[in-house]
Amino acid sequence: MSLTCKATILRQIGLPRPYADSMPLSVEQVQLQPPRETDLVVKVMAAGLCHSDLSAINGRRGRAVPVALGHEGAGIVEEVGSAVTDIRPGDHVVFQFSASCGRCRYCLSGRPQICATANAAKAGGELLSGGSRIRDMDGRTIRHQTGVSCFAEYAVVNRGSVVVIDRDIPLEKAAIFGCAVMTGVGALINTARLRLGESVAIFGLGGLGLSAVIAAQAAGAARIIAVDLQDDKLDRAATLGATDCFSATDPELTQKVMDLTNGGVDFALDLAGAIPALESAYAILAPGGKLITAGLSAAGEKFAFEHADLVSGEKSICGCYMGSCVPVRDIPAFLNLFKAGKLPVDQLIDNYIGFDDINAGFDNLADGAALRQVLLPHGPLPTTS
């Protein structure tokens, strides 16, 4: 039996700002098709607004429409397909936006986050188990965003798109672990593999960047250098553990960091998704240093560097998708650190919103006026802490 519920649909890309006026996102009644054997139905309790969603709205990253947005969230399992034996109705889950097949060359090499089968399904707006489960009220197919589409009251997803979590974790806080925390913390812990006493510079202090700041402090980094265009984000980074904060517009940024670190940082993380941030991050690497980028610039943009410097300095440039995480391993581990008070990433949540505020919410995100806003499809809205 199909399920009718509210979902947030993007039908036209590139509408002008403010989005509160142009309304690129429409909250519509949709029909969810029954789950297939390896699918689940999840009652979505919370979903974070992310720059990846914004990049679909403004056209920075190409995406076919119509598409039901939302890829970061948490909820409660309502129904499971006949082949799902390890998850039960009532389980609490966090969505993760790259299900894995377990059989392609990348899954077999221990890198399920870049599963070839899942990437092909996501590119087609489908689930890993094939096809879309979303129809509008006229019966037309709506695409899934990264196999999740959780800006909705309910979602049908593949079993691989969820991670079961402890029921004592508030779902409105757990929601951000599926993207912001997984990517920001994972970039530092999994990709950089930062060790006690090493130095890191973090460019871009949104949800990802500040998650990385928090993780760097927990990991014992000697210097945590935070860089952003906005003073209020720099102030926030300082309260969360950054030892040094710099404006990205400072013309002496490179020299100041080189002096401060006695020749450069061990790791530079670009979490802004901007070519100028990449260039600045590479410029402050110490010999043997590693530049890690988990931000996504617009399609077609290119980053240049001096080849001889890369070689003679034994520097590295590394892409990082999903924080190089194995979600079923890392999301519970990060949540355990959160419960222990060592990853206070709930401090990144600025506001809880309803469907009526979702377009304005993306204005806030685009303006840098909010780090993480969390949609609560079923309310009521809790008080932020």
Please say whether the dihedral angle defined by the alpha carbons of residues 105, 106, 107 and 109, taken in this order, is positive or negative.
Answer: positive
Residues 226 and 259 in one domain: yes
Residues 168 and 102 in one domain: yes
Q: Determine the average pLDDT of the residues in 347-365.
A: 97
Distance CA 303, CA 377 (A): 39
Residue 252 confidence (pLDDT) above 70: yes
Residues 262 and 361 in one domain: no
Residues 24 and 118 in one domain: yes
Average of per-residue pLDDT values in the chain: 95
Contacts of 279 (CB under 8 A, 6+ apart): 303
Domain that holds residue 310: 184-321
Q: Is the peptide bond before 377 cis (omega within 30 degrees of 0)?
A: no
Residues 369 and 245 in one domain: no
Q: Determine the average pLDDT of the residues in 111-135.
A: 95
Q: Can you list the alpha helix ranges (DSSP code H) found in 161-248?
A: 171-174, 180-186, 207-219, 231-240
The per-residue pLDDT for 148 is 97
Distance from CA of residue 13 to its chain's centroid? 20
What are residue 86's phi and psi, to 5 degrees?
-105, 0
Residues 37 and 79 in one domain: yes
Q: Which amino acid is located at 331 in the chain?
A: I
Three-state SS at 170: coil
Residues 205 and 159 in one domain: no
HEC profile of 34-87: CCCCCEEEEEEEEEECCHHHHHHHCCCCCCCCCEECCCCEEEEEEEECCCCCCC
Three-state SS at 228: strand
CATH of the domain at 289: 3.40.50.720
Judge whether 380 lies within some domain: no
Judge whether 332 lies within some domain: no
Distance CA 155, CA 169 (A): 20
Assess contact for 31 and 137: CB atoms under 8 A: yes
What are residue 340's phi and psi, to 5 degrees?
-85, 0
Q: Determine the average pLDDT of the residues in 2-24.
A: 96
Judge whether 301 lies within some domain: yes
Q: Determine the average pLDDT of the residues in 371-376.
A: 96
Place of tokens 């710099």: 246
The per-residue pLDDT for 385 is 42
For 161-191, what is each residue's pLDDT tens digit? 999 999 999 999 999 999 999 999 999 999 9
Judge whether 291 lies within some domain: yes
Residue 381 confidence (pLDDT) above 60: no
For 199-216, what is each residue's pLDDT tens digit? 999 999 999 999 999 999
| Model confidence, pTM | 0.94
- Write the burial class of residue 108 (CB in 10 Å: 0-12 exposed, 13-18 middle, 19+ buried): exposed
Residues 138 and 27 in one domain: yes
For 36-90, what is each residue's pLDDT tens digit? 999 999 999 999 999 999 999 999 877 899 999 999 999 999 999 999 999 999 9
Judge whether 226 lies within some domain: yes
- Among 341, 339, 345, 335, CA closest to 371: 345
Residues 152 and 21 in one domain: yes
The per-residue pLDDT for 384 is 43
For 254-285, what is each residue's pLDDT tens digit? 999 999 999 999 999 999 989 999 999 999 99
Q: Is 127 left (phi over 0), alpha (psi -120 to 50) or beta?
A: beta
The per-residue pLDDT for 297 is 85
Residue 300 confidence class, pLDDT cut points 50, 70, 90: confident
Query: How many CA atoms within 13 Å lie on the side-chain side of 284?
Result: 32
Residues 136 and 169 in one domain: yes
Residues 61 and 194 in one domain: no
- Write the burial class of residue 105 (CB in 10 Å: 0-12 exposed, 13-18 middle, 19+ buried): exposed
Furthest C-alpha separation in the chain: 65
Distance CA 296, CA 315 (A): 21
Q: How many domains, the chain? A: 2
Judge whether 256 lies within some domain: yes
Residues 21 and 111 in one domain: yes
The per-residue pLDDT for 1 is 56
